Amino acid sequence: MRLDKFLAEVGLGSRKEVKQLIKKGQIKVNQQTEKSDKKQIDPEKDQVEYQGEILHYQEFYYYLLHKPAGVVSATEDKHDQTVMDLFSPTDYRSDLFPVGRLDKDTEGLLLITNDGKLAHDLLSPKKHVEKEYFAKIAGVMTAEDQQRFVEGIMLDGELTLPAELIIDETNSETSQVRIILHEGKFHQVKRMVKACGKEVTYLKRIRMGELTLPQALAKGSYRPLTADELQGLKG
Ligand code: URA
């Protein structure tokens, strides 16, 4: 990798800014001052230093975000605040993106990464990664609805994969449920509930595979995944 690319990747500055630092002799490679921005380095082996600090290259970043309602799961939007706007300038990188989409009014767990392969694996229906939602429903969910979720519901001319409907609480008018899906069709939870003649009034994703939304993570905040969480996701 070129030295200027490496320095920009580790967050030392823009490509233009880091070229200046190199020119001024502020960067050392393996203890030697290096003045060429085209110098090829091996990020795994070579020791790159700025003001006495050794710079560590990280290719992939993984964050767990507690999405609040009102922000969109996109990297850019003309009208709405996006989940990327919740990142601090030091953590923000232009290659980060949310893994899958939650509706604007849906809250909960969202993984943000720049690892395209992991994102693909987590979203692929073939991999059957469970996505668990907590939902409040206007209407009473029943044992027949549970059966329909298992058998599949016709959406977009296709039967949904077997899903689980766990009824936690009901009264005469409303229900609180958990729903476990293995795929992520557009508005899937809301449309499956609607197919049963009821309506979702609140929706929150609480789990993706082995990754659960921590109680302590406030709405709108995020933190890096722990090594254990990452290992659990990669399976
Ligand atoms: N299903 C929905 O209907 N909305 C979401 O945001 C996620 C799953």
pLDDT band at residue 105, thresholds of 50, 70 and 90? Answer: very high
- Say yes or no: CB of residue 203 within 6 Å of ligand 1: yes
Across all residues in the chain, what is the average pLDDT? 95
Region(s) of the chain under CATH 3.30.70.580: 62-125+211-234
- Say yes or no: CB of residue 22 within 6 Å of ligand 1: no
The secondary element (H helix, E strand) that includes residue 144 is: helix 143-151
Cα of 130 vs centre of ligand 1, distance in Å, is 14
Cα of 104 vs centre of ligand 1, distance in Å, is 9
- Say yes or no: CB of residue 188 within 6 Å of ligand 1: yes
Q: Whose CA is nearest to atom 3 of ligand 1?
A: 187
Cα of 112 vs centre of ligand 1, distance in Å, is 17
pLDDT at position 235 is 79
pTM listed for this prediction: 0.87
b or e along 33-51 (b: 16 or more beta carbons within 10 Å of the residue's beta carbon)? ebeebebebebeebebbbe
Q: Does domain 62-125+211-234 have CATH number 3.30.70.580?
A: yes
CATH number, span 3-55:
3.10.290.10
Region(s) of the chain under CATH 3.30.70.1560: 131-208
Region(s) of the chain under CATH 3.10.290.10: 3-55
pLDDT at position 4 is 97
* Per-residue pLDDT tens digits for 41-90: 999 899 999 999 999 999 899 999 999 999 999 999 999 999 999 999 98
- What is d(CA 223, CA 126) in angstroms, rounded to the nearest whole number? 29
- Say yes or no: CB of residue 102 within 6 Å of ligand 1: yes
pLDDT at position 154 is 96
CATH number, span 131-208:
3.30.70.1560
